[in-house]
Amino acid sequence: MAVTALATAEGKRPSRLRRLEDERWLALALLTPTAVLLGLFIAYPFFEGVMLSLSSTRVGEPGHFVGLKNFHKIWNDSIFHTTMWNTFWYTGVTTVFKLALGLWLALLLNRHFRGKAIIRAFILLPFIIPTVLSTFAWKWMFDPTFSVINWTLFQLGLITARINWLGDPDLAMTSIIVINVWRGVPFFAITLLAGLQTISPELHEAAAIDGARPWSRFWHVTWPLLMPVTLVVVLFSVIQTFADFQLVYVMTGGGPANATHLFATYAYQLGIGTGLLAEGAAISLAMFPFLFIIVVVQLLYIRRVETR
Amino acid sequence: MIEGALWRRWVFYNIPLILFVFVLLFPFYWMIITTFRPDGELYRPWNAVNYMPFWTNDPTLEHILYLFEETNFMRWMFNTMFIALVSTVISLFCGVLAGYALARLNFPYAGGLGTAIFVTYLVPQTLLFIPLAEIIRNFQLGDTPWSLILTYPTFLIPFCTWLMMGYFKAIPKELEECARIDGASRWKAMVYIVIPVAVPGILSSGIIAFTLSWNEFIYALVFLSSPDQKTVPVGVTSELIRGDVFFWGPLMAGALLGSIPVAIVYSFFVEHYVSGLTGSVKG
């Protein structure tokens, strides 16, 4: 009796819940919120961005279709050339330094010593503190008149006159690179450290017994095993650096004389600053081919790892 | 580990490590010391005789008081906190469900959808901010917290989904099957059996999502305009710089106080943060 009652109760359950017993319906239900948000605020803006970049829209002035005119215009724009060169230089140099210094720091941390946990917690601070806020501290340190860096160099006898860090295009770019490296090294160090910890110490001991010097132990044992993590970390970092905005916006705003723009800051200046929405959108989209290549490389790599 | 003589350990390990820690932390020290330095000392040229960079003899609270009395700083803190919390909750909700579906269910196009979410994970905010600003305006969301609460999940959800997929994949299938044999529905098995086991993953994604939304800048800069709607990074940038004049004291005080909530959350969950960070780069 009780059993039948239970069975009918089961049978009367709303059909919606029963549908969720089917894996396909459940998956659909679980993925809908994500699909709606990402469709509305990534796919749709992407489509709108392409349309915008092919139009003559300005703030308060709905434009019309003009084909590739905006792309043609930025292609012949000398500031855009500087921007492009800056972005590749900035991405390349910072990535090399972040990888080298991050790996060094990871190797330093990959031992047992007192206070390791607390040091690891502290060195991640540059990465977790909001970038804009820590960049202001750097801007104040690089201030031409009140710079503590100038003071230190002067006290060490390395300079006799002040260095105008943010007033000279090359120095400004160098300053920005320093800050980006400062912010990125902890991320490289902590993720590479996690990679190092998966390498068995026995491999090192075996190589040492075979007479390998520390350098060749690193080069022939550690580095090849660390390669997969390194590649993913580098690709992530390259994307973030290539599309960077905050650091340059705070430090120089693209100046002096538009010499330190990256794609994002130049797009902001034209699109939001002067209201040339269509051109701004075109400059943003100019990042797309490069980002696309990186994403494809990363996808191919992941697929290779998964099928292995 | 093969360790050498004491001096070797100092030269090759301890001294480099101390230098690293010094350089990585010095800007924060500089932030703190500037916050408490009186203006008279702050604006003393670097080559002045009495320039005293690393210490101050008469610390002051004037910059912090300025921040509270002359600007909307408390309001910015509240805005940032509210936006970060709500968008984190939304992203966790979506990310956990999507991660579960992609990691543990068989359905058509699962692979393609997984790839699509991974690709959106790599879309930087700076690619879409101009068309998105137009869309936000058309939806009448401009200059409201909702413009950020609804757009932050676009970079948080892919991240949470990706991270949660890793955690869900590591949970053995048998766990769920046992529950289903005992009569639990698929939905119940997910909510009561699998998701509780993945709580460390949820914590990790939540903490990273929170710090990421606290850090976000360009959307907040473009979508918000009135001073009392701003978030801390945008408010500090736009209200404490007038033309070419930088209010360095209050600026550094704002940077310091604005970092504290993130630092507190981080300090409580360092291990979760680190495991999330390292999990996020595992292919």
**B22 close contact with A: CB closer than 8 A:** no
* Residue of A136, A142, A293, A294 best to disrupt the B interface, most CBs of B under 10 A: A136
User: Residue A130: which pLDDT band, with cuts at 50, 70 and 90?
Assistant: very high
Burial of B46 (0-12, 13-18, 19+ CB in 10 A): buried
User: Two tokens at A173?
Assistant: 């770019």
Considering only residues B156 and A216, tell me which one the structure prediction assigns the higher pLDDT.
Answer: B156
pLDDT digits (tens, 9 = 90+) for A172-193: 999 999 999 999 999 999 999 9
Q: Is the sign of the CA dihedral B113, B119, B121, B123 positive or negative?
A: negative
Residue B1 lies in a domain: no
Mean pLDDT of chain B: 90
pLDDT digits (tens, 9 = 90+) for B224-282: 999 999 999 999 998 888 877 888 999 999 999 999 999 999 999 998 998 888 887 76
Q: What is the mean pLDDT of residues A100-110?
A: 94
Q: Do B24 and B128 fall into the same domain?
A: no
Q: Do B180 and B131 fall into the same domain?
A: yes
Please state the pTM of the whole predicted model. Answer: 0.91
Cβ proximity of B2 and A208 under 8 Å: yes
Q: Do B124 and B244 fall into the same domain?
A: yes
Name the most confidently modeled range: A3-17, A113-127, B175-189. A113-127
Instruction: Say which of B46, B90, B118 has its CB closest to residue A147.
Output: B46
CATH code for the domain of B135 = 1.10.3720.10
Would you call the peptide bond into A256 cis, given omega within 30 degrees of 0 as the criterion?
yes
Where b means 16+ CB within 10 Å and e means fewer, A103-134 reads bbbbbbbbeeeeeeeebbbbbbbbbbbbbbbb
Taking an 8 Å cut-off on Cβ atoms, the answer to whether A291 and B273 are in contact is no
DSSP 3-state percent helix, strand, coil across chain B (nearest 5):
75, 0, 25
User: Two tokens at B118?
Assistant: 């991974």
**B46 close contact with A: CB closer than 8 A:** yes
- B56: which DSSP letter? -
Paired strand residues for A55? A65
**A295 close contact with B: CB closer than 8 A:** yes
Residue B276 lies in a domain: yes
- B245: which DSSP letter? E
- Chain A residues inside the 8 Å CB shell of B122: 236, 239, 291, 294-295, 298
Cβ proximity of A190 and A156 under 8 Å: no
User: Two tokens at A274?
Assistant: 């002067």
B213: nearest Cα among B156, B170, B130, B139: B156
User: Residue A100: which pLDDT band, with cuts at 50, 70 and 90?
Assistant: very high
Q: Do B102 and B40 fall into the same domain?
A: no
CB pairs under 8 A between A and B: 293
- Chain B residues inside the 8 Å CB shell of A239: 122, 124
Nearest CA in chain A to B282: A229
Total tally of structural domains belonging to chain B? 2
Q: Do B38 and B74 fall into the same domain?
A: no
Taking an 8 Å cut-off on Cβ atoms, the answer to whether B130 and A132 are in contact is no
CA gap A162, A153 in Å, rounded: 9
CATH code for the domain of A187 = 1.10.3720.10
Instruction: Say which of A31, A37, A246 has its CB closest to residue B101.
Output: A31
Residue A57 lies in a domain: no
Range of the domain at A139: 79-307
The residues near B138 (Cβ < 8 Å, ≥ 6 apart) are none
pLDDT score of B124: 92
Q: Do B47 and B103 fall into the same domain?
A: no
* Residue of B130, B155, B180 best to disrupt the A interface, most CBs of A under 10 A: B130
Instruction: Say which of A122, A208, A233 has its CB closest to residue B21.
Output: A122
Total tally of structural domains belonging to chain A? 1
Residue A87 lies in a domain: yes
- Chain A residues inside the 8 Å CB shell of B278: 190-191, 194
- Chain A residues inside the 8 Å CB shell of B254: 133
Range of the domain at B15: 6-60
The residues near B176 (Cβ < 8 Å, ≥ 6 apart) are B104, B189, B190, B193, B194
> Which of helix, strand or coil describes residue B52?
coil
**B18 close contact with A: CB closer than 8 A:** no
Taking an 8 Å cut-off on Cβ atoms, the answer to whether A132 and B218 are in contact is no
Instruction: Say which of A34, A243, A305 has its CB closest to residue B94.
Output: A34
**ipTM of model:** 0.91
Give Cα separations from A260 to A29, A75, A80, A170 (angstroms). Answer: 47, 18, 11, 8
- Chain A residues inside the 8 Å CB shell of B180: none
Q: How far is A302 from chain B (nearest CA, A)?
A: 6
> Which of helix, strand or coil describes residue A61?
strand
pLDDT score of B1: 46
Taking an 8 Å cut-off on Cβ atoms, the answer to whether A112 and B126 are in contact is no
Q: Do B137 and B148 fall into the same domain?
A: yes
* Residue of A18, A24, A28, A38 best to disrupt the B interface, most CBs of B under 10 A: A38
**B32 close contact with A: CB closer than 8 A:** no
Residue B80 lies in a domain: yes
Q: Do B23 and B71 fall into the same domain?
A: no
Considering only residues A179 and B3, tell me which one the structure prediction assigns the higher pLDDT.
Answer: A179
Residue B158 lies in a domain: yes
